């Protein structure tokens, strides 16, 4: 481990949760200024990632052994919401890159040494699509394939890739995450041509048959059962939670910031718009008032539920108790529903703003596009979660183990 990592914690330099959230809030004006260029470049600027790193944001869920803060997940999500209010693409990549230190802590301990031993600020991207080809080998595996949707990949020195190891005897496949250094894969820039969340730089990753040692793999079943090898070293209550609960929220929580930005933009347009057809001011439109008020109230309700869920998860972890499966599946369903609910709320606002909302210069347009794009992530599809909510209420096992 580097001396920088050790000294950072020993010197008592860990900021408070309030300081971290305030640092994120202070970045909102700058992120707004950069948002248009971020969209046009299809990537978050390197200077923004450097500023988030310097602010300590990526250490929130990182083990203290490597200079991390091991903070409550709600601190992590509060930071993400603030960043996403300034630029949802920035909030998105923070959620994805910022949650990976948590999973790396669950790997066999040598993996964390490999990633952070020389540089505790090393960032890791991912794409968990199980599309890789795996060949078993002595001491590990050979991995090949091409994956899409690796958000923030140009800013990272390592990547997490999903693949299935098939049982030669016909048993169920072993879903794993493989950890590779930058020298072992290629980032195909220019492959991210989308209508929203353009700035996430979610480019393709290609691997041409490279060796991955056993200790750089993480079994999905270990994340599901909360029996991960890294917990022998990183034993804080934080790491006793199901990995999927954290990851699912990392790709839905930026929608809180995006929706808040859209609501504020809607209010801004309302206060200055007069219909050229009717001559009536939007600030006197009761239907628009109702749409805005409903959005404000429901965003607040969803946020309260979000915070309460992670407090409950941490309470179980601190007591060393297993989390009831019916709670886990319910939380997964609620997480998967957030983005679609946000889209519906913002849709109701946009359609009442007339022609002012359709210009690319309109402040509501980019958040609206980003929210619609976020719906495409598999974790943001509640249709994948409904059956398990009812099954676990009846005492049955969930069919979908990523909960």
243-393 CATH, one of 2.60.40.3880, 1.20.140.10, 1.10.3720.10, 2.60.40.420:
1.20.140.10
Q: What are phi and psi for residue 248, nearest 5 degrees?
A: -55, -45
Assigned fold of 3-121: Butyryl-Coa Dehydrogenase, subunit A; domain 1 (1.10.540)
pLDDT digits (tens, 9 = 90+) for 255-278: 999 999 999 999 999 888 555 555
- Between CA 96 and CA 338 the distance in angstroms is 17
Q: Report the pLDDT averaged over residues 312-333.
A: 97
**pLDDT of residue 285 exceeding 90:** no
Token pair listed for 393: 């209420």
Q: Residues of the chain with pLDDT > 90: what percent?
A: 88
Beta-carbon contacts of 150 under 8 Å, excluding residues fewer than 6 positions away, are 125, 126, 127, 159, 187, 202, 203, 204, 205
* 85: nearest Cα among 366, 372, 300, 375: 366
Q: Which residues pair with 211 in a beta bridge?
A: 142
Q: Report the pLDDT averaged over residues 301-318.
A: 98
State how beta strands 158-165 and 124-137 pair.
Answer: parallel
Residue 110's CB is within 10 A of a number of other CB atoms, namely 16
CATH of domain 124-222: 2.40.110.10
Domain boundary assignment for the chain: 3-121, 124-222, 243-393
Continuous segment of H or E residues that includes residue 219 = strand 217-219
Of 26 and 172, the one with more pLDDT: 26
Q: What is the pLDDT of residue 274?
A: 58
């Amino acid at each position: 481990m580097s001396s920088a990592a050790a000294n950072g914690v020993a010197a008592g330099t860990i900021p408070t949760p309030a300081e971290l959230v305030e640092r994120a809030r202070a970045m909102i004006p700058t992120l707004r200024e950069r948002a248009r260029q971020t969209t046009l470049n299809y990537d978050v600027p390197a200077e923004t990632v450097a500023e988030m790193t310097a602010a300590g944001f990526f250490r929130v869920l990182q083990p203290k052994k490597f200079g991390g803060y091991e903070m409550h997940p709600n601190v992590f999500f509060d930071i993400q919401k603030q960043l996403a209010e300034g630029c949802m693409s920035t909030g998105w990549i923070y959620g994805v890159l910022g949650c990976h230190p948590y999973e790396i802590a669950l790997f066999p301990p040598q993996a964390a040494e490999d990633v952070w031993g020389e540089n505790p600020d090393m960032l890791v991207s991912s794409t968990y699509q199980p599309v890789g080809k795996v060949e078993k080998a002595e001491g590990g595996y050979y991995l090949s394939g091409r994956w899409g949707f690796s958000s923030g990949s140009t800013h990272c020195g390592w990547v997490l890739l999903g693949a299935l190891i098939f049982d030669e005897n016909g048993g169920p496949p072993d879903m794993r995450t493989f950890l590779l250094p930058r020298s072992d894969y290629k980032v195909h820039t220019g492959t991210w041509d989308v209508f929203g969340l353009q700035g996430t730089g979610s480019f393709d990753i290609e691997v041409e048959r490279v060796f991955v040692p056993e200790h750089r793999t993480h079994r999905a079943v270990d994340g599901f059962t909360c029996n991960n090898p890294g917990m022998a070293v990183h034993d804080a209550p934080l790491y006793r939670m199901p990995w999927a609960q954290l990851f699912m929220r990392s790709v839905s929580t930026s929608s809180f910031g995006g929706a808040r930005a859209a609501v504020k933009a809607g209010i801004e347009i309302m206060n200055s718009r007069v219909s050229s057809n009717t001559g009536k001011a939007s600030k006197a439109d009761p239907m628009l008032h109702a749409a805005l008020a409903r959005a404000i109230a429901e965003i607040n309700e969803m946020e309260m539920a979000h915070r309460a869920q992670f407090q409950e998860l941490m309470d179980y972890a601190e007591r060393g108790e297993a989390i009831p499966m019916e709670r886990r599946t319910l939380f997964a369903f609620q997480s998967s529903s957030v983005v679609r609910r946000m889209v519906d709320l913002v849709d109701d606002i946009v359609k009442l703003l007339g022609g002012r909302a359709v210009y690319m210069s309109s402040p509501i347009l980019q958040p609206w596009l980003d929210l619609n794009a976020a719906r495409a992530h598999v974790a943001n599809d509640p249709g994948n979660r409904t059956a398990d909510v009812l099954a676990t209420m009846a005492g049955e096992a969930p069919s979908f183990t990523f909960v």
